[in-house]
Amino acid sequence: MSINPLSLSGPWTHVAEGYQAETVPAFRQYCEKALELVGYQTGGKVIDVACGPGTMSIMLSGTAAEITAIDFSEGMLDVFRRLVQEQKLQNISIRQMDGQKLEFADAEFDFAFSMFGLMFFPDRMAGFRELHRVLKPGGRAAVSSWAPVSESPLMRLLFGSIRAAFPERPEPKTNLLSLENPELFKEEMEKAGFHGVAITAFDGAWPVTDAEKFLDSMVKGSAPLEMMKKNLGPELWAEKRKLIRAYLHENLPPLPAVMHSRAFIGVGTK
């Protein structure tokens, strides 16, 4: 069975700085929606699994009693640690760890989050079970995943531009064996032991003011696109970038505009 490169730490370490600068600002809205859906309450202990550069943890630093944040990418954690130091945050503990094997006792946390992280785990069920295990009885979890490309205008535009440069690439199809399938998403959370599971679609807004800046932002903040750029080399990437840019100029709506990208957010109770 082939391994998804995004289940390895290397691509995320490589993109860590760009991810923080370009992608995190738009990701906050998904975190805010997850907090609303999970019924977040202040003063509890929180675990943030596959935390990346700490988007959710930093948002909660002023309201949670304690936050434990884990990720397998040392590069992402380096960025996170720098932000914690710059902002003088005192209640966040950061550890490099496998989210499929959490090194914590049972029933330690009031809330558990995994924003666009658990979706890439080689063993998602292990990730869901571990989230469930470390929650206190009555504790709540929120997990997010991207919806199928077909449901997101932003992703359709982005994948269309890539196919303009790489016409041999197939059209993206919904992976029914992934968390793109909300029925499977719900089923896996329930199998892990969560009850009252609900999967909610949320359309996040991504402002676009300039085609060139949009392209650069998408590449810098995307592990798959950065991997593609690195593998092609400077000369071939420059040629492909021209084709991508031409597609964007032709297919973007009149600027400035707001594009939308849909996520599924699953919440459940232990």
Tell me, what's the pLDDT at 5? 53
Q: Cα–Cα distance between 124 and 119 in angstroms, integer?
A: 7
Does 64 reside within a domain? yes
Tally of domains within the chain: 1
Does 222 reside within a domain? no
* DSSP single-letter state for residue 22: I
Does 186 reside within a domain? yes
Burial of 213 (0-12, 13-18, 19+ CB in 10 A): exposed
Pairing mode of beta strands 135-146, 257-269: antiparallel
Does 29 reside within a domain? yes
Tell me, what's the pLDDT at 112? 98
* DSSP single-letter state for residue 23: I
Q: Name the token pair of 188.
A: 């896996």
Tell me, what's the pLDDT at 2? 47
Does 182 reside within a domain? yes
Tell me, what's the pLDDT at 169? 86
Tell me, what's the pLDDT at 16? 47
Does 251 reside within a domain? no
Pairing mode of beta strands 45-49, 66-71: parallel
Helix residue ranges per DSSP H, the chain:
9-14, 16-18, 24-38, 55-60, 74-87, 124-134, 153-165, 182-191, 211-220, 223-232, 234-251
Tell me, what's the pLDDT at 131? 98
Q: Name the token pair of 20.
A: 């923080």
Tell me, what's the pLDDT at 20? 55
**What are the residues facing 47 on neighbouring strands?**
68, 112
Tell me, what's the pLDDT at 1? 42
Tell me, what's the pLDDT at 143? 98
CATH code of the domain covering residue 179: 3.40.50.150
Q: Cα–Cα distance between 96 and 77 in angstroms, integer?
A: 7
Does 248 reside within a domain? no
> What pTM value is reported for the model?
0.91
Q: Cα–Cα distance between 30 and 40 in angstroms, integer?
A: 14
Tell me, what's the pLDDT at 225? 78
The CA-based angle 196-141-98, given to 5 degrees, is 135
**What SS3 state is found at 12?**
helix
CA atoms within 13 A on the CB side of 120: 22
Phi and psi at residue 121, to the nearest 5°: -60, 135
Tell me, what's the pLDDT at 241? 92
pLDDT truncated to tens, each residue of the chain (270 aa)?
A: 445 554 444 544 544 454 555 566 788 999 999 999 999 999 999 999 999 889 999 999 999 999 999 999 888 898 899 999 999 999 999 999 999 999 999 999 999 999 999 999 999 999 999 999 999 999 999 999 999 999 999 999 989 998 999 899 888 888 999 999 999 999 999 999 999 999 999 999 999 999 988 888 887 777 677 778 888 899 998 999 999 999 999 999 999 999 999 999 999 999
Domain around 36 = 5-148+173-207+259-269
Tell me, what's the pLDDT at 77? 92
Q: Name the token pair of 72.
A: 């397998």
Tell me, what's the pLDDT at 75? 86
Contact 96, 71 (CB under 8 A): yes
Does 161 reside within a domain? no
Q: Name the token pair of 193.
A: 């032991």
